[in-house]
Amino acid sequence: MAERILVTGGAGFIGSHVAEGYLAAGHDVLVLDDLSSGRRENVPAGAGWVGADVRDAAAVEAAFRSFRPTVVNHHAAQKSVTASVREPVLDADVNVLGLLNLLQASVAHGVRRFVFASTGGALYGSGAPVPVAEDFPPAPDAPYGLSKLAGEQYLGLYGRLHGLESVILRYANVYGPRQDPYGEAGVVAIFCGAVLRGKSCVIFGDGRQTRDYVHVADAVASNLLALEGPPGAYNIGTGVETSVNRLVEELRRVHGGPVAVEHAAPRPGEVRRVALDVTLARERLGWAPRIPVAEGLAQTYAWFREHLGRERAGERAGEPAVAPAASVPATAVAAAAGPAYATATRPGDRPDRPAPPGGGARRVRKAVVPAAGMGTRFLPATKAQPKEMLPLVDTPVIQLVVEEALAAGVEGVLLVTGRNKRAIEDHFDRAPELEYLLAQKGDLAALEAVRRLPGDGVIHYVRQREPRGLGHAVLAGRHYVGEEPFCVLLADEVFEGPAMGAVLEAYDRVGATVLGVKRVPPEETSRYGMVAVEGEGPLYRVTDLVEKPEPGTAPSDLAIVGRYALAAEIFGALERTPPGRGGEIQLTDGLRLLLAEGHPIYGLELPHRRFDVGERLGFVVATLARALERPDLRDGLARWLETEGRRLLEQS
């Protein structure tokens, strides 16, 4: 049933995402916000708008009278812990009296349900166990935690006195696109902002303090489920502790370069470890976090790179390097948030393209993904389905590769398919009956997973009539690509992190062909194209290429892996390349010809972990690694590996 939902704080970070999520699910939304920290531009198109303070009882009453909400979702708050210590009266004024205004109006206007953004990080206090569950008695260390606790208590009381149902969401550290990179909290946004402005990340203390980071898309999903699930208070986190040092490491990985760090004195009274036990939300709301920190951080970084880069272009001397990230149109943010994000995006909508460092347009706009191989290594599984559709946990490999290309900033992807590959086209197509059924069942997480797939206008297909080698498959993309540089991703390889993005950034720097390379042990050289290089890494100048040399004869230990940024001249070179091994046209041979004709080629040594999912062992390992990154699977699988897995290993 479509609800009429009043979202307070809907111009802020989390509230604006929540408003989008509700709109996408077909509800009517009115945002009420005083813009004290939010931005008008964040309010999604399609939502109504009231600029008012929740402490203004008359304005609140007027909004209720005209909008007649069935649900109130309360995100407006004084949210700073340190400000609450400095100004506890103001904190209570906004967080307690403001809430009371909304509760009074909710009762007067027959609101069915009240959803309240509380805190898991600041509520339980420094004596809490790790992870902490909802039944641990709260003992906040600051007025902010106490005013949220008071809010929770008022909700309980209004339930008992007036029958007002409420769902309380005790958030861990929420992060994601549009968070304020200048705030005192929100370390992910602050670090992304610092790195992109060439500043140091300031770590208070030794950096080993941990927090539970939950992606805003997962928080949105909990707000959707809160419309119907059983009333109560629920922890919304991941249960996973991540240290500040680990965040910096991840940031180095996604940034693909050095990240400067400065240590400052530890903050007095700072809690050492925080993680929320989310079993109750899982069992009663049917909610689970879906986005691992590594993936969420990569998305968030890509978003900030795009939007801070854009704002830098308009920066004026003497002003801060960036305006708050919130000044970006809501739709762009929604699309860029990536997987599992509940928004108004539709199949075919495109995330804004991440810009290369320093602004300007990405030179490579198109990707080619050969997907015509037979997959004989996986028979009988691949007898009637394409090997590219084999899933790592629940996501087909081809989807991961397409998402990597789009996250790297290309506008369109050409899939080179062949006979027996129609399931790939079906996968990226709409499935109206399935979407209808999921919507009826209220399975919004599955619905979003199906809807967020890129589709029309982004994915293109060409069929290769006979598989005649990688060079031949790349040539099949000539018509689509035209006379411009492009990139190639092999669907047999999956990387932990934005490998294609790193190669494209290198292309933008050198303006010539760049091959992703990785070091391999000597006994494996006969499985790869190997390169001879000169210069300093990680971006080497390639001086020669050899296709699959026998062990001991390779020119170096650097192997070409499946991420390429290619100059358009490769097409002509491939046409002039005679068939090599097995009558196939090899891409390496074409590259060699290009090199011989004087075109520069570079090899970028990729730091990202790579899985060869075209091999059975690599596929199994990639599946396990991906499952271990997933908060919904990690603990169960780790337990199984340590007990049953170990037993099986000892028996075999």
Bond before 131 cis per omega within 30 degrees = yes
* Span interacting with ligand NAD, options 10-18, 188-196, 262-270, 305-313, rule CB under 6 A: 10-18
Q: Please say which residue, 174 or 533, places its beta carbon nearer to ligand NAD.
A: 174
Provide the 8-state DSSP code for 292: -
Nearest-CA neighbor of 375 among 352, 398, 345?
Answer: 398
Is 38 near ligand NAD (CB under 6 A)?
A: yes
Q: Which residues contact residue 643 at a Cβ distance below 8 angstroms, ignoring those fewer than 6 apart?
A: none
Among candidate residues 124, 144, 540, 564, the one labeled active-site is 144
* Span interacting with ligand NAD, options 32-40, 301-309, 422-430, 460-468, rule CB under 6 A: 32-40
* Span interacting with ligand NAD, options 8-16, 274-282, 335-343, 448-456, rule CB under 6 A: 8-16
Among 3, 37, 392, 559, the residue binding ligand NAD under the rule CB under 6 A is 37
In whole angstroms, how close is the CB of 174 to ligand NAD at the nearest point?
A: 4
**How much helix, strand and coil, in percent to the nearest 5, is found in the chain?**
40, 20, 40
Is 171 near ligand NAD (CB under 6 A)?
A: yes
Q: Please say which residue, 34 or 295, places its beta carbon nearer to ligand NAD.
A: 34
C-beta atoms surrounding 231 within 10 Å: 18
Provide the 8-state DSSP code for 356: P
Q: Please say which residue, 181 or 375, places its beta carbon nearer to ligand NAD.
A: 181
Is 217 near ligand NAD (CB under 6 A)?
A: no
- DSSP-assigned beta bridge partners for residue 73: 7, 115
| Interface of this chain with ligand NAD, residues 40 to 99, rule: CB under 6 A | 53-55, 75-77, 79, 94, 98
In whole angstroms, how close is the CB of 541 to ligand NAD at the nearest point?
A: 45
Among 119, 147, 343, 586, the residue binding ligand NAD under the rule CB under 6 A is 119
Among 5, 6, 11, 542, the residue binding ligand NAD under the rule CB under 6 A is 11
- Return the structure tokens found at 95: 């967080």
Is 14 near ligand NAD (CB under 6 A)?
A: yes
In whole angstroms, how close is the CB of 176 to ligand NAD at the nearest point?
A: 9
Is 103 near ligand NAD (CB under 6 A)?
A: no
Q: Please say which residue, 168 or 593, places its beta carbon nearer to ligand NAD.
A: 168
* Span interacting with ligand NAD, options 9-17, 61-69, 256-264, 360-368, rule CB under 6 A: 9-17
Q: Please say which residue, 57 or 520, places its beta carbon nearer to ligand NAD.
A: 57
Q: At CA 408, angle to CA 407 and CA 410, rounded to 5? A: 95
Bond before 268 cis per omega within 30 degrees = no
Is 33 near ligand NAD (CB under 6 A)?
A: yes
Q: Are 29 and 5 in contact (CB under 8 A)?
A: yes
- DSSP-assigned beta bridge partners for residue 118: 170
- 626 backbone dihedrals φ, ψ, rounded to 5°: -65, -40
* Span interacting with ligand NAD, options 7-15, 354-362, 380-388, 574-582, rule CB under 6 A: 7-15
Is 3 near ligand NAD (CB under 6 A)?
A: no
Q: Please say which residue, 118 or 525, places its beta carbon nearer to ligand NAD.
A: 118
In whole angstroms, how close is the CB of 84 to ligand NAD at the nearest point?
A: 10
Count residues binding ligand NAD (CB under 6 A).
Answer: 28
- 553 backbone dihedrals φ, ψ, rounded to 5°: -115, 0
Q: Please say which residue, 11 or 271, places its beta carbon nearer to ligand NAD.
A: 11
In whole angstroms, how close is the CB of 114 to ligand NAD at the nearest point?
A: 13
The DSSP result for 120-139, as a single string, is STTTS-TT--SSBPTTSPP-
- 343 backbone dihedrals φ, ψ, rounded to 5°: -140, -175
Q: Please say which residue, 12 or 181, places its beta carbon nearer to ligand NAD.
A: 12
3-state secondary structure 138-202: CCCCCHHHHHHHHHHHHHHHHHHHHCCEEEEEEECEEECCCCCCCCCCCHHHHHHHHHHCCCCEE
Q: Please say which residue, 71 or 554, places its beta carbon nearer to ligand NAD.
A: 71
Is 173 near ligand NAD (CB under 6 A)?
A: yes
Q: Which residues contact residue 578 at a Cβ distance below 8 angstroms, ignoring those fewer than 6 apart?
A: 589
Q: Please say which residue, 117 or 368, places its beta carbon nearer to ligand NAD.
A: 117
In whole angstroms, how close is the CB of 274 to ligand NAD at the nearest point?
A: 11
In angstroms, what CA-CA distances link 62 with 38, 96, 208? 21, 20, 49
Q: Please say which residue, 37 or 577, places its beta carbon nearer to ligand NAD.
A: 37
Q: Please say which residue, 114 or 571, places its beta carbon nearer to ligand NAD.
A: 114
In whole angstroms, how close is the CB of 521 to ligand NAD at the nearest point?
A: 44
In angstroms, what CA-CA distances link 634 with 139, 234, 485, 499, 631? 30, 20, 40, 24, 5
The DSSP result for 222-283, as a single string, is HHHHTTTSPSEEEEES-S--EEHHHHHHHHHHHHTS---EEEEPPPTT--S---B--HHIII
Is 12 near ligand NAD (CB under 6 A)?
A: yes
Q: Are 267 and 81 in contact (CB under 8 A)?
A: no
Q: Which residues contact residue 167 at a Cβ distance below 8 angstroms, ignoring those fewer than 6 apart?
A: 113, 114, 115, 116, 226, 229, 231, 232, 234, 285
In whole angstroms, how close is the CB of 246 to ligand NAD at the nearest point?
A: 18
Look up 602 and say whether it is catalytic. no
- DSSP-assigned beta bridge partners for residue 566: 486
Task: Please state, in angstroms and rounded to a whole number, the distance separating the CA atoms of residues 178 and 329.
Answer: 10
- Return the structure tokens found at 543: 């001086």
* Span interacting with ligand NAD, options 29-37, 198-206, 311-319, 457-465, rule CB under 6 A: 29-37
Among 3, 6, 7, 13, the residue binding ligand NAD under the rule CB under 6 A is 13
In whole angstroms, how close is the CB of 334 to ligand NAD at the nearest point?
A: 15
The DSSP result for 538-551, as a single string, is SEEEEEEEEESPPT
* Span interacting with ligand NAD, options 30-38, 65-73, 193-201, 555-563, rule CB under 6 A: 30-38
In whole angstroms, how close is the CB of 435 to ligand NAD at the nearest point?
A: 29
Is 174 near ligand NAD (CB under 6 A)?
A: yes
Q: Which residues contact residue 376 at a Cβ distance below 8 angstroms, ignoring those fewer than 6 apart?
A: 382
In whole angstroms, how close is the CB of 32 to ligand NAD at the nearest point?
A: 6
Q: Rg of the chain over CA atoms, in angstroms?
A: 26
In whole angstroms, how close is the CB of 82 to ligand NAD at the nearest point?
A: 13
Element (H, E) at 406: helix 397-407
Among 3, 5, 15, 23, the residue binding ligand NAD under the rule CB under 6 A is 15
Is 141 near ligand NAD (CB under 6 A)?
A: no
355 three-state secondary structure = coil
Q: Which residues bind ligand NAD (CB under 6 A)?
A: 8-9, 11-15, 33-38, 53-55, 75-77, 79, 94, 98, 117, 119, 121, 171, 173-174
Q: Which residues are catalytic?
A: 144
